[in-house]
Structure 1
């Protein structure tokens, strides 16, 4: 595929677990081996891009019988390619560890080296965010991997503010970047009961002037709706300078459909 192409091509491959570790009490990083064929497939897949995890349903029946039917072959979940490291031949995927009440969390908690997991993704040269002078990133725990991946790639001449909500102080991480980045952490031990991200975003000081500004927000459905309404309706924000994505909806699984 030509490097300048924005055409996307879907790929799907079975990856072998190389190792895993707890980054914090609520984040597990699983490292997958990249073989020769996968190395070629991943050449035009970006760190921070979405993937699809195909989790074997039969391995999860006992822990989640109410939500998983025995005749399903796979439970599909959307995650982030936290890092594609072709030099060290590793695909890193970070999981929010919230017990066995979710298929991906349950799988990550019990995953061992040598185990395999099928992963689907897209080849693309499309940038994750457009060029800007200032970025505002807003996200809950589910958005931490993608926001970390994007911030790592920002150039030194831009400024960014990051607003992140995690379970507690012990889940805070260091965000590495060449850019001028300031991070504000919020703590929420029960995210399924609501978030203060939207209210906090209202009090973020945004730069004025003619700077090109871009806002990237990803979190629970109702939180994203409130953020989107605020910037689009109240601030009349340029729609081309705003990206919002609801990664989950409280009380609803991915099988029940996205809002």
Structure 2
């Protein structure tokens, strides 16, 4: 995993999100990358302005759909208002993927544009028990949530990573238990470690707030289990798939917009 610190004159224009009166801990941004098949010099010769920040409305009029900037979604790990910086963690898989490869080769002074942030979750101080769970993609949001909790917060945070080298030092309240699950391999369609652990987890009765995000297939299994087996309140849960195995984000987001059914109840 690689952490990049982003800053610059555009920081003042960022509208950071809150949930109620609390800063959101799952704020995400959509990084913009020019497609690899777009020749910047040729586009400039045709009067296309590719200077950042991109004028997306103008680009839609000048470029084909295949030539438009593509987005890659990442959770903000930390906002440093004093230094006007944001931290973003990237999971890197060698030289595969647009954002990971960019992060791997980024150097001081490199530029990036993004939309956002968006958000939807913050831990409630009055919740009696918290369940936080996810894989590497959810780790920034889980870490941010733990840091924002009061010291007497109670619950468990479960993080699935490849191996012990992927662990990070986290600021965990005294009443929260942090559990690391090690796959000892890259994620595969057969990976069910997180779902299996949560299935055997004993969740107390009372006001329970849930934040679980991860790979799509695991999340389908986890979503039904939390509702049908654990009997948790859907309104107190933040659940979604951050990614899908074998899909780039463009495919994944298109599939997410296609209805495939709903939970009964």
Q: Could you say which TM-score interval applies, normalised by the shorter chain?
A: 0.7 to 0.9
Residue aligning to 2:46: none
CA distance in 1, matches of 2:108, 2:65: 26
CA distance in 1, matches of 2:187, 2:141: 18
* 8 Å contact kept, 1:214–1:242: yes
Which residue, 41, 45, 53 being the options, matches 2:31? 53
CA distance in 2, matches of 1:206, 1:196: 18
Residue aligning to 1:198: 195
State whether structure 2 residue 149 is matched by structure 1 residue 149. Answer: no
* 8 Å contact kept, 2:38–2:67: no
Which residue, 148, 166, 169 being the options, matches 1:171? 166
Deviation at 1:156, TM superposition (A): 1.9
Gaps of 5+ in 1: 1-26, 62-68
Deviation at 1:120, TM superposition (A): 1.2
Structure in which a larger fraction of residues adopt strand: 1
CA RMSD of superposed structures (Å): 2.5
Matches within 5 A, 1:97-108: 97-108=92-103
4+ aligned runs moved over 6 Å, structure 1: none
- Normalization by structure 2: what TM-score? 0.76
Deviation string, structure 1 residues 50-94 (Cα, Å, up to 9, x no partner): 111102323999xxxxxxx99524220111111110112211111
| Structure of higher CA gyration radius | 2
Deviation at 1:43, TM superposition (A): 5.7
Residue aligning to 1:118: 113
Deviation at 1:203, TM superposition (A): 1.5
* 8 Å contact kept, 2:195–2:221: yes
Deviation at 1:195, TM superposition (A): 3.0
- Normalization by structure 1: what TM-score? 0.77
SS of equivalent residue, structure 1 residue 52: strand
SS of equivalent residue, structure 1 residue 97: coil
Deviation at 1:123, TM superposition (A): 7.2
Which residue, 27, 32, 35 being the options, matches 2:6? 32
Gaps of 5+ in 2: 19-23, 40-63, 257-265
Residue aligning to 2:134: 139
Deviation at 1:112, TM superposition (A): 0.8
